Amino acid sequence: MYGLLNRAIECFVRDTYGEAAWAETALSCGLQGHTPEPMLPVSPDLTDSLVADICRQLDKTRAHLLEDLGIYLVRHSRYEGLRRLLRFSGHTFGDFVLSLDELAARVRLVLPGTEFFSLNVQAYPGRRFEVNSVSDFAGFQRILFGALRAMADDYGVLVTMEISDPAASGHTQILVTVHAPDFASGRGFSLGARTA
Amino acid sequence: MTGPPNIGLEIPYEALGRLLPMHVVLAADGTILSAGPTFARILPNSDLVGNAFLDRFIVRRPPCVTTFEEMRGLQARQLRLELADAPRTTLNAHCLPAAGDRLVVDTSFGINVARAVAEFGLDQSDFAPTSLAVEMLYLIEAKTAAISELQDLTLRLFEEKSQAERQAETDSLTGVLNRRGIERALGELIEDEQEFGLLHVDLDFFKTVNDTHGHSAGDQVLTRVARTLTMLTRPTDLIGRLGGDEFLIVTPGITDTDLLRAMASQIIETLDRPFDIAGCDMRISASAGVTSSGLYTAPDISRMIEDADRALYRSKLDGRTRATVFDPDTMPRPAGTAEAARAAELR
């Protein structure tokens, strides 16, 4: 999945900050224009180099950048396919959050052999959810945090969210509280949109 | 034993509708007593309830089922139905008996679920929570995206492979084919049993140019020569640089040795004229050896190149700045060390 992540980072930089910003990062990281073919296996080192260079260029923290990446992946039209696949997991935002346990398995259906992350969700009264995650990639939970926030908007739901820094065990916790399930209309989603 | 064990569950039609959103319950005579809620989404303007089942549904498989009695007999078999009011919609179905001689028929979209969902604008709530329909749609979309990516990747890799192959057969200095490229082209012509001529053009006094004006000038001369050869040949002719100052020209379709000699002579004459590079006058010349596939019963690459070489050797012996056609009778190999040494000297 690092190949796909690298390509996502590239698209994020190009689409959000422009060609010149990407060109500078590509040069610093020794790339000829593009990140390597996303479907081919690649070492995780490149991902860290890319993130480090972009943070330096834009003067952002790694956490902030990865969160923005998560938001981008749900909101940007280039990744509409991904947003749709996420919407399949839940008719409502609450259903979606509860189904995050299965997200890793859903990813594996399409990309066999990826053991990139694992999620565990607990629900509490008062529409509160605790999303626990473990990942090989440091900062995965920040991407998830951004994506969850954007998904709440997508469903038209008002939420507050908190994230804790990784514990010694490597687990991170994201707390999601739903305040208004019908806050806004959100973006529509029709199951059959891509088959016509 | 009075019959199979009966669970004896009493389920209101409405609850059955939540369990099986696409079912119908039929009376003993085939009249529809109730229908699951998803049918109301598929056929909003038709009433199913109160109508005869076989007026609203057509049994496609098994074939030749036209009466309700026949249908009753098909319990425990998979049926394929069609909706009379939506003919392109096929449904998988099966039925089981219920109390009071009723029949419960459950249906699903089967493999056509994606099309049906799009056509009728269905969403998650139109399927039972245990239905695999939504997972199926997810898988279809994800699969399509993955395959599309892989197709793009395959195309890109194929382009890069073609480009790499072309590069491997191109002389990087002049842009004409290299030895590998021209030999492959010759191989293809021979395999396709196409006739062709072969000219081996060798520059004279090129070493002098390098010694006098330097290798950079030498490179420019070679590039210029390659351009001249390209101009003086047809677009379908192939030009290859064999390394150093030797070029091969392959002329598919032309085997007339007089014509080939005339071509070679024209090339030599053109190369004989001095030209300017970086303000200096370059004087080179060329010699050529010519052969043609018509001279062989079974043309062979190395044999032909060798023979063109022998003819070239003859051109050099005769004074250079000329083209000679290969003649097996009069052109012996440079056998023996003295001849071979002389041949090397002449280069």
- Nearest beta carbon to residue B149 from set A39, A190, A191: A39
Which residues does chain B have within 8 Å of residue A106's beta carbon, measured at their own beta carbons? 138, 142
Starting at the earlier edge strand, list the strands of the sheet with B285-292: B238-243, B246-252, B196-204, B285-292, B323-325
ipTM computed for the complex: 0.86
- Nearest beta carbon to residue A192 from set B117, B143, B149: B117
pLDDT at residue A37, as a whole number: 87
pLDDT at residue B31, as a whole number: 95
CA atoms within 13 A on the CB side of B92: 9
Give the pLDDT band (50/70/90) at residue B229: very high
- The answer to whether residue A85 neighbours chain B at the CB level (below 8 Å) is yes
- The answer to whether residue A37 neighbours chain B at the CB level (below 8 Å) is yes
- The answer to whether residue B129 neighbours chain A at the CB level (below 8 Å) is no
> What would the mean pLDDT of B131-160 be, rounded to a whole number?
91
pLDDT per residue over B252-301, tens digit each?
Answer: 999 999 999 999 999 999 999 888 887 888 888 999 999 999 999 999 99
- Nearest beta carbon to residue B125 from set A81, A91, A196: A91
Q: Burial of B255 by CB count in 10 Å (0-12 exposed, 13-18 middle, 19+ buried)?
A: middle
Give the pLDDT band (50/70/90) at residue B334: low
DSSP run (H or E) holding B187: helix B179-191
pLDDT at residue A196, as a whole number: 45
| Helix ranges, B192-254 (H) | 206-213, 215-231
pLDDT at residue A15, as a whole number: 97
pLDDT at residue B187, as a whole number: 95
B223-B224-B225-B231 Cα dihedral, nearest 10 degrees: 110
pLDDT per residue over B28-43, tens digit each?
Answer: 999 999 999 999 999 8
First to last CA, chain B: 108
pLDDT at residue B47, as a whole number: 85
pLDDT at residue B324, as a whole number: 93
Give the CA angle between residues B159, B157, A38 to the nearest 5°. Answer: 135
pLDDT at residue A195, as a whole number: 58
Q: Is the pTM of this model over 0.90?
A: no
pLDDT at residue B90, as a whole number: 93
- The answer to whether residue A108 neighbours chain B at the CB level (below 8 Å) is no
Which residues does chain A have within 8 Å of residue B125's beta carbon, measured at their own beta carbons? 91
What is the rounded CA–CA span in Å between residue A80 and residue B334?
73
pLDDT per residue over A46-58, tens digit each?
Answer: 999 999 999 999 9
pLDDT at residue A66, as a whole number: 96
Which of B27-38 are b and which e, b meaning 16 or more Cβ less than 10 Å from the residue's Cβ? eeebebbbbbeb
Interface test with A, best of B136, B137, B141 (most A CBs within 10 A): B141
Using the predicted structure, report yes or no on whether residue B336 has a pLDDT greater than 60. Answer: no
